[in-house]
Amino acid sequence: MDAWVVARPGPVASRPLERTTLPDPEPGPGELRVRVEACAVCRTDLHLAEGDLPPRRPRTVPGHEVVGRVDALGPGAAGPAIGDRVGVAWLRSTCGACRYCLRGAENLCPSSAYTGWDADGGYAEFVTAPAAYVYPLPEDAPAETLAPLLCAGIIGYRALVRSNLPPGGRLGIYGFGASAHLTAQIAIAEGATVHVMTRSAAARELALELGAASAAGSADPPPEPLDAAILFAPAGELVPVALAALDRGGTLAVAGIHLTDIPVLDYRRHLFEERTLRSVTANTREDGREFLRLAAAHRPRVATTPYPFAAAGRALADLAADRVEGAAVLLMTCS
Ligand SMILES: [Zn+2]
Ligand SMILES: [Zn+2]
């Protein structure tokens, strides 16, 4: 099969991705094989390509927002049938037996494995995945707009849950890329007032179009104190900025898997009066199912920039340079 691999982790300008031919993968026990229709490009792919997240195995195919159709079943694979449309997401497997898995926090499982990091992902014609970890997807939406839901959407939703936003509350969103624009729409549809802080003028425009109450520069104060905030930008220097924008009792959730250093915090300005700083680590399958249910109900507009499969390197470079509006999506149908 035709595939891209992370050949030499390093700056995107050094072309860390390499296009190659790999044997078609065979689904193992409990796994299914998916013929890929589209794969969205996540910032985590960029962190993997650039080596911010060290590779867990050499020459891995990145990509964990995969839409496709089941085309082969491994022994004992239960659930989806051949021909079904499914999504393959970041969480590839967990142990199911540790203290975290048993209490419903499988996102913290120390034995968890991730698509495109521990196993080959979706920048390829085919991908295999455990049947118990794929999501059924609707037939009536283009693959291009479904793909970003699978990480950008799900992780953003978990960050929203972790931000402890009260019903009808005031939510600040720092950074406005693929994940943030979906999260903002779900929050607004559920009754929140959303303020967006981002350095990109185009993203500020999109935020207002999608119903944000205000949009300002990344370090600007919001027009009112926030009950909750989510930091999507991988910029540690915004942690004190966002904490200072919280009202008493407010919570800041950091959504990214990678963050630059956080400057020294001032206890009184940033944390006292019961402000809370929380991280977000991956997601549970329950988060995924709940988000996809909300997305089906609220039908958020999914801003995408499509790329042909051959342009995976350019998609990553554009993401690194903030040149992508919404989510970059690789389409397998055009090579
Ligand atoms: Zn576990
Ligand atoms: Zn992702």
Ordered per-residue pLDDT tens for the chain, 335 residues:
999 999 999 999 999 999 999 999 999 999 999 999 999 999 899 999 999 889 999 999 999 999 999 999 999 999 999 999 999 999 999 999 999 999 999 999 999 999 999 999 999 999 999 999 999 999 999 999 999 999 999 999 999 999 999 999 999 999 998 899 999 999 999 999 999 999 999 999 999 999 999 999 999 999 999 999 999 999 999 999 999 999 999 999 999 888 999 999 999 999 999 999 999 999 999 999 999 999 999 999 998 999 999 999 999 999 999 888 778 999 997 54
**DSSP secondary structure of 38-98:** EEEEPHHHHHHHHTSS--SSTT------EEEEEEEE-TT--S--TT-EEEE-SEEE--S-S
User: Under the phi-then-psi rule, with left for phi > 0, alpha for psi from -120 to 50, and beta for the rest, what region is 2?
Assistant: beta
Is residue 275 within 8 A of residue 248, CB to CB? The reply is: yes
Is residue 335 within 8 A of residue 310, CB to CB? The reply is: yes
The domain locations on the chain are 2-137+303-331, 154-279
**Which residues have beta carbons under 5 A from ligand 2 (an ion)?**
42, 44, 151
CA of 65 to the centre of ligand 2 (A): 7
pTM over 0.95: no
CA of 248 to the centre of ligand 2 (A): 31
The answer to whether domain 2-137+303-331 and domain 154-279 are alike in fold is: no
CA of 97 to the centre of ligand 1 (A): 5
CA of 268 to the centre of ligand 2 (A): 34
Position 335 scores a pLDDT of 46
Task: Determine phi and psi for 292, rounding to 5 degrees.
Answer: -65, -30
Q: Residue 326 contacts by C-beta under 8 Å, 6 or more apart in sequence?
A: 148, 177, 178, 181, 206, 302, 303, 304, 305
Reference 159, options 195, 183, 127, 185; nearest CA is 183
Reference 124, options 274, 3, 252; nearest CA is 3
Closest listed ligand to the CA of 284: 1
Residue listed under structure tokens 């959303």? 194
Looking at domain 154-279, its CATH superfamily turns out to be NAD(P)-binding Rossmann-like Domain (3.40.50.720)
Residue listed under structure tokens 């990109």? 200
Position 263 scores a pLDDT of 97
3-state percent breakdown (helix, strand, coil) of the chain, nearest 5: 30, 25, 45
Position 334 scores a pLDDT of 54
- Tell me 270's DSSP state: I
Cα separation, 128 vs 117, whole angstroms: 13
Class of domain 2-137+303-331: alpha beta
Closest listed ligand to the CA of 48: 2
